[in-house]
Amino acid sequence: MNVSEMYRELKMTKDEFFTLVKEIGFDIGERAIKVDDRVALKIIQEIKARKKAQHKQRIFAQENTAAKEESKKSGGRDLKIPDKITVKQLAEKADKRVADMIAILMRNGIMATINETLDYETAAIIAEDMGFTPSLSLEEADIDNPDERAEMVKEVIDKEKSLQSRPPVIVIMGHVDHGKTTLLDTIRQANVAGGESGGITQHIGAYQVVHNDRHITFIDTPGHEAFTTMRSRGARIADLAILVVAADDGVKPQTIEAIEILQKAELPFIVAINKIDKQGADIERVKRELAELNVVPEDYGGKVVCVPISAKQKLHIDDLLETVLLVADLDKEHIQANPEGETVASIIESHVDKHAGPVATVLVQNGTLRMGDIILIGNIPGRVRSMRDWNMKEVKTATPSMPVQVLGLKKAPIVGDVLKVVTDKKVLKQQVKTFDSFSFLTSQKKKSDEVDKSKFTIILRADKLGSLEAIVQSLQGIQHDEVRIDILQKGLGNITENDIALARSTHAVIVGFHVGITPAAEKFAVSEGVKFEIFEIIYKLIDMAKDEMSKLLSKEVIYTKIGSLKVLAVFKAGQKSVIFGGRVEDGVFRTQAPVKILRAGKMIGEGTIAQLQKNKKNVSEANSGSECGMRVEGDGDVQAGDIIECYESKEIDRTIAH
C-alpha cells in the first residue's frame, strides 16, 4: 500500500503520520513510499484505535469540566435522596430545571424521561456530579415491604360485604406519536396536548368523563414504566386499557412492549386504531400485525375488540366509549367497591409545589375520602386540608374511582404508594413509630444475617444503565450453595473517593466497567489498600467475580489410605481416647494422621493418632512389619483383632466453573 494513501485515509499530514508510526513502534523508515499490506493494515488499525482513545479522553475531560462547573454552582450542599426518586423530584431537590436534569443524565449515559424512577445509587452519583453531598433520606425512603403493600388494597376490598358498582378506570397506552394524548384530549374536551412540549405527555394525571350518564375514569401515563410502577406498588389500579395504534404506522416497538405489559398484568384491553383519516391508513394491516402477535381481532376469529377512530377529527369516539363500557360490564364483578367501607387510595401523581407544598393526586379505590381525614401513606402522615377534582374544583368528598388532588401531606409520597385513612390519632402515631422501628430492625437483621454468610462484596460502577443492569443480572446468576455475591452499592459514573471510603469500611472490592477513577480516589485506594479493578469486557468481569468467589470456598479434603494395623492388645480405654498395641501389616502410620476403626469389615469409629511409641520411645511414624503402641483420640471402642486404617489427608482448592 502506498504511504500517501495511508495518511490520507487517516486524515493526517505526512509528518504527523511518520512521527506517530515511529512512536507506536513500527520501523518502516522515514522515506518509505510503500508498505506491505499486512503491516499497513496493522498500522492503520493501531492509529485509529489511538485516535479513538484520544477522542474518549477529550470527551471525558469535557464532561469533567462540565461537572466541575456544576459543582461550583451547587457549592457542595447536602442533598437528601430517598431510595427511589423520579427525575422530576430529583430536579426539584437540586433546584434545576427538568430539561437540565435530563441533559445531565444523558451526559452520564442515562436516557430517562421526566417520570422515570432512579434508584438511590444512581441518583447519588448524579448528585455528586452536580457538586452535592448526597445521603439516604430514611424519612422518604421506600423501605416498607412492597409485597405486603401490593396486597393492601385487594385485602381491604375482599373483606367488604356491601359492594357496589363503581366507574371503570381506564389507562391509555401505545407507541409515541400514535395519538394517546390527543385521544384523551378529545374525550375530555380539553386542550392538553396543545400546551405540552412537543405533544408529549409531561405528567401523570387522571380525569373523569360522563358518557350515557355513566362515569369513566381515565389515567394518563407518560410511559409504560409509570404504569408498571403503579401496578407493582399498588393493587389493580386500572380495570381496562385502550391500546392506541396508528393506522398509518402500524405496530411499533412500544406497541409490542405495551402488549407484553398488559398481558403480564392480565388486564383486559381494546385496540383503538387511530388516524384512520390520514393518507396511507391501513386498518387491515394493523389487524394482521396484531394477529401475528397473538392479539387476534374479533373479525379475525379472536376476542380483541378493535375500534377504528380519528382522535383529531373526533370520528367514532362515541363508539370507543360504548365499547369501553361494554367490555367493563363483562368484568363488572371485579369493578366494585364499598363507598361506606375502609378508605384506601393509590398515588398516581406526586410533586412538591413551591406555594402549596407536597401535592398528591390519588385515585380512591374503596371507601370515601373526606376533607379533614387523617391519612397515612407508607410512613408519611397527613390530614386532608384541601381536595380538588380533575377540573381543579374544590370538593368535600371523593368516592371510589374518583381522582382528586390532595394537599396536607408532610412529604411528597412515591407514585404507586397506598393511602389509608386512620380514624384515631394515637393509632396514626403508633403506626408511624412501628413502621420506623420495623424498618430499622429489618435492616439490622439483614446486616447481622449477612455477617454469618460467606460472600464476595463489591461496589459496582458502570458507564451506562443498560450495561449496569446486564452486569448485575449476570452476577446474580452465579449460584453456589456456600458463597454468594453481595452488590453493596451500584451506580453510574467514575470511581470516586466516596467509593474508596465505603470499600475500606466494608472490605468490598470496587469493580468498574468502561469507567475511570479520579486521581484522588486512586491515590486514596493505594494508601488504604483498597482493591479496585476496571474492565472493558463483561465476561472478563464475570470471570474475575467467579475467581474471587472460588477463593472463599472451603477446601475439598481428599483422603488416601496409607497403612493398616491389626490390634493385638488394648491397654487403656477412656471416653475420648484409647491406648492399644498392634502390628503394622502394610504401609505406614504417622502421628496426627486420621484413622478408621474396622471390625468384621465394618467401620465402627474414627479418630486421630495423638501419640506413637516403638520400644517405649515416642516416634513420628511406624512402618510395615513393626509393632507399636498408639493413643487414638476419637469415638468408637477398640478391641483386640480390630483393623485400624491410617489415612493421609490433602486439601485442594475448589472453583466455580467459568
- Cell numbers describing residue 566: 491389626
CATH code assigned to 75-136:
1.10.10
d(CA 510, CA 175): 39
pLDDT given at position 191: 37
Please state, as a whole number, how many other Cβ atoms lie within 10 Å of the Cβ of residue 434. 11
Q: Could you tell me where the beta strands, DSSP code E, fall in 77-180?
A: 78-81, 84-86, 117-119, 133-136, 164-165, 169-174
Q: Which residue has the higher pLDDT, 575 or 256?
A: 256
Secondary element (H or E) of residue 226: helix 224-233
The contacts of residue 505 (CB under 8 Å, 6+ apart) are none
The one-letter code for the residue type at 643 is: I
Question: Which residues sit opposite 431 in a β-bridge?
Answer: none
Q: Which residue has the higher pLDDT, 449 or 515?
A: 515
d(CA 34, CA 131): 54
Q: Strands across the sheet with 509-513, in order?
A: 483-492, 454-462, 509-513, 532-535
Domain boundaries, the chain: 3-71, 75-136, 167-334, 453-552, 556-652
442 and 403 Cβ atoms separated by less than 8 Å: no
270 and 329 Cβ atoms separated by less than 8 Å: no
Map residue 41 onto helix, strand or coil: helix
CA-angle at 72, arms to 66 and 75, nearest 5°: 140
- pLDDT confidence tier of residue 588, bands split at 50, 70 and 90: very high
508 and 485 Cβ atoms separated by less than 8 Å: no
pTM equals 0.46
- pLDDT confidence tier of residue 442, bands split at 50, 70 and 90: very low
- Cell numbers describing residue 603: 467401620
**Which long-range contacts does 297-304 make (Cβ < 8 Å, 24+ apart)?**
297/271, 304/269, 304/270, 304/271
Map residue 346 onto helix, strand or coil: strand
pLDDT given at position 12: 84
CATH code assigned to 453-552:
3.40.50.10050
φ, ψ of residue 467 to 5 degrees: the values are -65, -45
Q: Convert the pLDDT of each residue in 468-508 to its tens digit.
A: 877 888 888 887 878 888 888 888 778 887 788 788 878 89
How many Å is the maximal CA-CA distance in the chain? 113
- pLDDT confidence tier of residue 425, bands split at 50, 70 and 90: low
Cell 409545589 found at: 353
d(CA 223, CA 155): 28
Cell 516403638 found at: 614
d(CA 309, CA 272): 7
* In the predicted structure, residue 143 carries a pLDDT above the cut 50: no
Q: Convert the pLDDT of each residue in 491-502 to its tens digit.
A: 877 888 778 878
* In the predicted structure, residue 615 carries a pLDDT above the cut 80: yes
CA-angle at 212, arms to 275 and 270, nearest 5°: 40
φ, ψ of residue 612 to 5 degrees: the values are -125, 140
d(CA 59, CA 278): 44
pLDDT given at position 45: 78
41 and 6 Cβ atoms separated by less than 8 Å: no
pLDDT given at position 57: 62
Mean pLDDT score, 578-603: 93
CATH code assigned to 167-334:
3.40.50.300
Q: Convert the pLDDT of each residue in 227-266 to its tens digit.
A: 554 544 434 678 899 999 999 999 988 888 888 888 887 8
pLDDT given at position 503: 85
d(CA 230, CA 37): 61
d(CA 181, CA 194): 10
* In the predicted structure, residue 422 carries a pLDDT above the cut 90: no
Q: Which residue has the higher pLDDT, 368 or 42?
A: 368
- Cell numbers describing residue 276: 384512520
Cell 467401620 found at: 603
78 and 132 Cβ atoms separated by less than 8 Å: yes
pLDDT given at position 138: 52
Single out the residue of 588, 575, 591, 600 nearest to residue 645, CA to CA: 588
pLDDT given at position 504: 83
Buried b / exposed e along 140-176 (16+ C-beta atoms within 10 A): bbbbbeeeebbebbeebbeebeebeebbbbbbbbbbe
Averaged pLDDT of the chain:
80
609 and 595 Cβ atoms separated by less than 8 Å: yes
- Which of 116-120, 141-145, 426-430 is the most confident on average? 116-120
- Which of 107-111, 204-208, 576-580 is the most confident on average? 576-580
CA dihedral 20, 23, 27, 30 (to 10 degrees): 50
486 and 458 Cβ atoms separated by less than 8 Å: yes
Mean pLDDT score, 521-545: 87
Q: Which residue has the higher pLDDT, 226 or 180?
A: 180
Q: Which residue has the higher pLDDT, 641 or 84?
A: 641
Superfamily name with CATH number, domain 556-652: Translation factors (2.40.30.10)
* In the predicted structure, residue 447 carries a pLDDT above the cut 50: no
Percent of the chain with pLDDT over 70: 82
Q: Which residue has the higher pLDDT, 234 or 306?
A: 306
- Which of 355-364, 420-429, 434-443, 581-590 is the most confident on average? 581-590
The contacts of residue 577 (CB under 8 Å, 6+ apart) are 607, 610, 631, 632, 633, 634
Q: Could you tell me where the beta strands, DSSP code E, fall in 129-247?
A: 133-136, 164-165, 169-174, 205-211, 214-220, 240-246
Mean pLDDT score, 259-285: 90
* In the predicted structure, residue 275 carries a pLDDT above the cut 60: yes
pLDDT given at position 49: 74
* In the predicted structure, residue 464 carries a pLDDT above the cut 70: yes
pLDDT given at position 426: 60
Least confident of 131-145, 195-209, 626-640: 195-209
Least confident of 224-238, 575-589, 640-654: 224-238
Q: Convert the pLDDT of each residue in 38-60 to its tens digit.
A: 788 778 877 887 777 677 666 65
- DSSP H helices in 382-518: 425-451, 465-476, 497-506
Please determine whether the domains at 167-334 and 453-552 fall in the same fold group of CATH: yes
- Cell numbers describing residue 46: 493501531
Q: Which residue has the higher pLDDT, 209 or 129?
A: 209
* Burial class of residue 372 in the structure, from the number of CB atoms within 10 Å of its CB (0-12 exposed, 13-18 middle, 19+ buried): exposed
- Which of 132-136, 234-238, 270-274 is the most confident on average? 270-274
Q: Which residue has the higher pLDDT, 146 or 59?
A: 59
d(CA 81, CA 276): 46
- pLDDT confidence tier of residue 428, bands split at 50, 70 and 90: low
d(CA 325, CA 552): 61
Packing angle of the helix pair 465-476, 538-552 (nearest 10 deg): 30
Q: Which residue has the higher pLDDT, 447 or 321?
A: 321
* In the predicted structure, residue 523 carries a pLDDT above the cut 50: yes
- Cell numbers describing residue 525: 485506594
Q: Convert the pLDDT of each residue in 163-207 to its tens digit.
A: 899 999 998 888 877 888 788 888 877 434 344 433 333 344 788
346 and 419 Cβ atoms separated by less than 8 Å: yes
CA dihedral 463, 464, 466, 472 (to 10 degrees): 40
The one-letter code for the residue type at 583 is: R
The one-letter code for the residue type at 457 is: T
Q: Which residue has the higher pLDDT, 96 or 464?
A: 96
- Cell numbers describing residue 372: 379533614
211 and 238 Cβ atoms separated by less than 8 Å: no
- Cα atoms found within 13 Å of the Cα of residue 75, Cβ hemisphere only: 2
